[in-house]
Amino acid sequence: MSCSGGYGEAYPPRQVHCGEAEGFWYRDVTHFGDSPLYPLDAYFTVSMMDLVQSYFYTRYFAMPTSGGRATLLVMGRVFRTSYPPRGADIAEFGRRLRAYLERWDERYEEWKTEVLRIVDEMRRIPTDLPHGLEDIGVVEKGEGFSPYAVLEGWMRLYTLWLRLWFKHYEFLMVGYLLYHLFHKFLKTFFPNIPEHHVIDMLRPDEMDIWRPHLILKRLADKARELGLEQQVLSAGSAKELEERLAQAGEAGALWLAEWEAAKYPWFYISTGAGFHHWEERWINNLDIPLTLLKTYIQEGPSEPRRLSPDELAARYAELLPEEVRRSFWDYLHRPQLGLTPERRLKASRTPTLEGGAFVL
């Protein structure tokens, strides 16, 4: 395909860029799996990801590690690469990074508020498609044309989706940097530290991305508590379960109330990475969470509580040389308040890299 002329085909087998980078390309199976990416899905994912990620690498944070990202589609499969870094200005990068680190909690709360506002605005975009004759009121007033409203809603969805990608990468870039530095710091003193311990110390006590499964475990506990486990286990579908428990007296009503309360937002989780339009969400097929719920009931009561991030961090801090403990707490964004069991560590912590993944 020529770079100078028309495209020939709407969606060619291979997407070619003029001046295509000669660096290392890898197939991004982690995000996109083995299935080819539909043009519509590419429109809302890789085309936006490259734009936004490259912007934050270069013009926003002035990171010295990369000059941005690029993506090629080969038979619908996603291949990605990184451009080499431009001239590094470490002082400028540090100045921009401090704008986040010095007001981390405040900026994270602002970030989360804005993300939820965008999602709420998305939910309010009209989705009804017009059919048949326009209402006579449209004709009489000469306004409210339905085709225009559909296109206007589509463009609004596009801009809001793009805005979410900007919010996603805003904290992700800094989060990965902090994780890398903290990981390197810990490996210096604890070469055999399990990877999940590093992540556990950085995470909140309860992450939104895990909450759908935690809620199902609580619903399993609730079913056992109310004596409803056999009714749940024998239900052939979520619809049958809801109809059955609606006739199960006060116990059924109590359980159904918690089930209904969990649906928004927690059942809006995707069964995949969320990058393919055909991936099912729990809310569109309630038999999916029902199957998981049955598994949790069969497994028995929920597992005992794991060490909290603060408790785990305190145990590692005790093993560190005293002169580096302050740096350890600084990485975790918690002040050095002592290590005695009577002293509670400040709850504030660096939000995990995936802290906003559920919403986004």
Do 263 and 284 lie in a common domain?
Answer: yes
User: What is the extent of the structural domain holding 221?
Assistant: 211-299
Tell which of 254, 277, 299 closes a domain.
299
User: pLDDT category, 329, cuts 50, 70, 90?
Assistant: confident
Rounded Cα distance, 146 and 54, in Å: 37
- Find the mean pLDDT for residues 256-263: 96
What backbone torsions phi and psi does residue 196 show, to the nearest 5 degrees?
A: -70, -20
When divided into structural domains, the chain yields a total of 3
d(CA 74, CA 13): 6
Mean pLDDT of the chain: 84
Residue 246: inside a domain, yes or no?
A: yes
Give strand pairing partners of 204: none
Q: Which residue has the higher pLDDT, 332 or 143?
A: 143
pLDDT value for 342: 30
One domain, residues 63 and 100? no
Domain identity same for 52 and 112: no
153: in domain: yes
Looking at the structure, tell me whether residues 112 and 136 fall in a common domain: yes
Q: Are residues 87 and 46 in the same domain?
A: yes
Residue 334: name the closest of 312, 313, 307 by CA. 313
Asked if the model's pLDDT at residue 17 lies above 70, the reply is no
**21-24 contact pairs (CB < 8 A, 24+):** 21/70, 21/81, 21/83, 23/81, 23/82, 23/83, 23/84, 24/81
Q: Which of 67-81, 239-253, 292-306 has the lowest mean pLDDT?
A: 292-306
pLDDT, tens digit, 9 for 90 and up, residues 209-255: 788 999 999 999 999 999 999 999 999 999 999 999 999 999 999 99
Residue 14 lies in a domain: yes
Residue 152 lies in a domain: yes
If asked whether residues 60 and 97 sit together in one domain, one would say no
